Amino acid sequence: MNTVDYLRISLIDRCNFRCQYCMPEGAELDYILRQELLSNEELLTLLQEVFIPVGFRKFRLTGGEPLLRPGVVDLVRAIAFLPETQDLAMTTNAFLLADMAQDLYDAGLRRINISLDSLVAETFDKIIGNRGRSRWQQTWEGIQAAYHVGFDPLKLNVVVIPGVNDQEVLDLAALTLNRHWHVRFIEFMPIGNSQLFGERAWVPSEELRQRIRDVFGLIESRVRGNGPADVFQIPGALGTLGFISQMSECFCDRCNRMRLSADGWLRPCLLNETGQIDLKTALRQGVHTADLREQVSQLLMIKPEINFKQRDSGTTGTYTRTMSQIGG
Ligand code: SAM
Ligand code: SF4
């Protein structure tokens, strides 16, 4: 059985972008009230007394936009210095990163994934729902800052949407030619904006690989991640190309993760709401952490059944929450 030791922690459900595929403008999102967010203390209690004792060792801070979370640097420091933490990473849109990259690094963060769906300012602004002054340059400066501070590996996540940014796949892939960056193409999932998904659908990773192969050549990389990406490389390139193909392939049987939402719901499967536990309410009602540990252990035992149900039914599930609410 796969070891589940990786927890993706959403720090906040709010965001300074409104990406079309995630939080489209006009979508009614009920933001979590501040008092309903897990506090830093509650989160650390859950990590130390519940998640670490049952075997979790790898943590990723995400959201919403994690850099909007007040006190995020202190939280990074506290988690990075827990003796059991083997890996701490963050997923961010990088808009606020230029000013925060050094502090995050000094606090102990070493791995960062940045969402960048386009190298063209106009397309980028359209995707992130920006109508004011372009936000591309500040985002790019955030990426450069992370690179210069020393984040390694630096990963760029690209959600590929037909007719929106798929024509840029070669340019995005070319970023890896002379940089130690990892560009990862993610198949668009029907979460967050079913209308856009209905109109545009998704591009299979193999089709993207073929386009890249035709122009640059493509080989399987010797660098293997421990996540869902299939890793390739342009021959001679410094960086790598990852393909996350949750629509065209099912990797549920390799799943090593659970998700904790910003308001404290533990979710065993991204695409299925079965089995969720409201840890925050339990904690606030004074339920002993030993009992919560027991509940999480039980959930770990039934997780494979939850995952496999998903495989049997294809990539469909219960999507009452967006990626920004679940913690993407
Ligand atoms: N705000 C941060 C960011 O954008 O990197 C972190 C949270 S965001 C929800 C995490 C990841 O989920 C991003 O890489 C984003 O592109 C991805 N995502 C959101 N909605 C998606 C969808 N419908 N299909 C595929 N990926 C999606
Ligand atoms: Fe915000 Fe990230 Fe969602 Fe874009 S993908 S709206 S940056 S949470």
pLDDT digits (tens, 9 = 90+) for 47-64: 999 999 999 999 999 999
* Segment (H or E) for 310: helix 289-312
Q: What's the residue count for the chain?
A: 328
- Determine the pLDDT at residue 200: 76
> What ligand 2 atom has the least distance to the C-alpha of 322?
3
Q: CB of 117 closer than 6 A to ligand 1?
A: no
Q: CB of 91 closer than 6 A to ligand 1?
A: yes
Token pair 């984040």: residue: 151
Omega before 70 cis (within 30°)?
no
pLDDT at 244 over 60: yes
181, 102, 263, 129: CA torsion to nearest 10? -60
> What region, left, alpha or beta, does residue 119 occupy, with left being phi > 0 and alpha being psi -120 to 50 degrees?
alpha
- Determine the pLDDT at residue 1: 64
DSSP structural state of residue 272: B
pLDDT at 94 over 60: yes
- Determine the pLDDT at residue 149: 97
User: Residue 66: phi, psi to the nearest 5?
Assistant: -65, -25
Neighbouring CB atoms inside 10 A of 288's CB total 11
Q: Give this prediction's pTM.
A: 0.93
User: Residue 155: phi, psi to the nearest 5?
Assistant: -115, 135
- Determine the pLDDT at residue 318: 46
CA of 289 to the centre of ligand 1 (A): 31
Max CA distance (Å), the chain: 60
d(CA 170, CA 172): 5
User: Residue 73: phi, psi to the nearest 5?
Assistant: -65, -40
pLDDT digits (tens, 9 = 90+) for 31-51: 999 999 999 999 999 999 999
Tokens of 188: 């668009």
Tokens of 179: 């940089």
To test the pocket of ligand 2, the residue of 10, 17, 130 to mutate (highest count of ligand atoms within 8 Å of its CB) is: 17
> What ligand 1 atom has the least distance to the C-alpha of 192?
23
Quick check: 7 and 259 in contact, CB under 8 A?
A: yes
Neighbouring CB atoms inside 10 A of 301's CB total 11
For residue 318, how far is the Cα from the chain centroid?
19
Neighbouring CB atoms inside 10 A of 241's CB total 27
Q: CB of 72 closer than 6 A to ligand 1?
A: no
User: Among 23-27, 45-49, 136-140, 174-178, where is mean pLDDT lowest?
Assistant: 23-27
pLDDT at 308 over 70: no
pLDDT at 319 over 70: no
pLDDT bucket at 317, cuts 50 / 70 / 90: very low
d(CA 143, CA 96): 10
116-154 burial string, b = 16+ CB within 10 Å, else e? bbbbeeebbbbbbbbeeeebbeebbbbbebbbebebebb
Q: CB of 18 closer than 6 A to ligand 2?
A: yes
Token pair 């990075």: residue: 80
CA of 66 to the centre of ligand 2 (A): 10
Pairing of strands 230-233, 219-220: antiparallel
d(CA 240, CA 243): 10
pLDDT digits (tens, 9 = 90+) for 174-228: 999 999 999 999 999 888 777 887 777 889 999 999 999 999 999 999 776 667 8
d(CA 93, CA 8): 16
pLDDT bucket at 30, cuts 50 / 70 / 90: confident
Nearest CA to ligand 1 atom 13: 115
pLDDT digits (tens, 9 = 90+) for 3-16: 999 999 999 999 99
Quick check: 54 and 299 in contact, CB under 8 A?
A: no
- As its CATH architecture, domain 6-326 has Alpha-Beta Barrel (3.20)
